[in-house]
Amino acid sequence: MIKKKRNNGLNVPETGRIGTVSNRAAGDEADDSRTPGGSVRVLDRAVSVLGFLAESRRQVGITEIADATDLSKATVHRILSTLRDYSIVIRDDGGLYQMGPSVLFWADAYQKKAGLCEIARPWLRALWEEALETVHLFIFEGGEAYYLDKLDSPHPVGMRSHIGARRDLYSTSAGRSILAALPRADLDAFFEKTELLPRTPNTVTDRKELEKILAVGRERGFCEEVEENEVGIRCVGAAILDLRGYPVGAVSISAPAYRFSDSQSRALGEKLRDTVLAISRELGYRG
């Protein structure tokens, strides 16, 4: 259980360093109020700060965080001070912040609760040993796909992906495999709420064309994408299904496009299809 650290003199707010509050701070002070959607505003802001810290993957200062989140420096300072009390963030002697050790508590709890990592890991290892390229495990929750596990390529050139990062569904092979496995109503709902923006010059952004790609993937049991989510990277992915046949995640193989030919992609796609079927069977799928 994470407990708040007692104030030992090290965590006293340094309001004197913040300077004057910017104009945008006028609307920042009612932190306990709710947004029209019902969420608590201060929590929304804290999540924005944590999201920026997680994406940065480096030490950052209050001014940079404030600029990135469109919050006042006073509000950012107040949020960081509270997060420091719980070791959710830590600060160095120069006043720069980064994610703290307490986040591991929630990360570990989530992975254990999901159970997917434990079940999938032996299968991912076997797949990695055959492919010798980066293998990703995704989890699909709340209409979003996130990296849950990763086995890095043994080659010098690999993927820059990070556990916990969200991935677009329409421009990635894993995401497409999830979309292809969704019930028709859920797929229609996805297209209605999602703007298909180009991630690279190659990204398919036309719904009809993408629907054809999903149909092919549905028939083959795996989906592909060539430099549509990241220039220079090619991927093949297949969805993991639960006992209802609903997608709960996916597995993908990613590699630099120059060493991932059409024939390799198809062959590994078929191997991948068999792998995710085995994982799905362990989750109770019988289709």
pLDDT of res. 222: 96
Question: Is the Cβ–Cβ distance between 177 and 236 less than 8 Å?
Answer: no
Question: Is the Cβ–Cβ distance between 241 and 283 less than 8 Å?
Answer: yes
Query: What are the φ and ψ backbone dihedral angles of 238, each rounded to 5 degrees?
Result: -140, 145
Rounded to whole angstroms, the maximal C-alpha distance in the chain is 64
Model confidence over 36-76: pLDDT tens digits?
555 588 899 999 999 899 888 789 999 999 999 999 999 99
115's torsion region: left (phi>0), alpha (psi -120 to 50) or beta?
A: left
Using CB atoms within 10 A of its CB, is residue 226 exposed (0-12), middle (13-18) or buried (19+)?
middle
pLDDT of res. 117: 84
User: What is the pLDDT averaged over residues 245-273?
Assistant: 93
Q: How many CA atoms lie within 13 A of 30 on its CB side?
A: 5
Q: How far is CA 69 from the centre of its chain?
A: 19
Q: Is the pLDDT of residue 6 over 60?
A: no
Residues in the chain: 287
- Across 161-229, the runs of DSSP E, i.e. the strands, are 166-167, 223-226
Higher pLDDT, 109 or 23: 109
Model confidence over 154-183: pLDDT tens digits?
876 556 667 778 889 999 999 999 999 999
Model confidence over 187-234: pLDDT tens digits?
999 999 999 999 999 999 999 999 999 999 999 999 999 999 999 999
The neighbour count for residue 260, using CB atoms within 10 Å, is: 21
Q: Is the pLDDT of residue 34 over 80?
A: no
**Pairing mode of beta strands 89-91, 97-99:** antiparallel
CA angle 114, 55, 20 (to 5 degrees): 130
The neighbour count for residue 148, using CB atoms within 10 Å, is: 22
Which tokens hold the place of 206?
A: 């036309």
Which tokens hold the place of 134?
A: 């980066």
Model confidence over 101-156: pLDDT tens digits?
888 777 766 655 557 888 899 999 999 999 999 999 999 988 899 988 889 888 76
Rg (CA), the chain: 22
pTM recorded for the entire structure? 0.66
For helices 173-181 and 207-220, angle between their N-to-C axes, nearest 10 degrees: 80
Locus of tokens 């997917």? 116
**Selection from 276, 269, 274 nearest residue 116 by Cα:** 276
d(CA 35, CA 33): 7
- Residue 11 confidence class, pLDDT cut points 50, 70, 90: very low
pLDDT of res. 9: 34
d(CA 81, CA 87): 10
Helices (H) and strands (E) in the chain, counts: 9, 8
**Selection from 74, 50, 51 nearest residue 62 by Cα:** 74
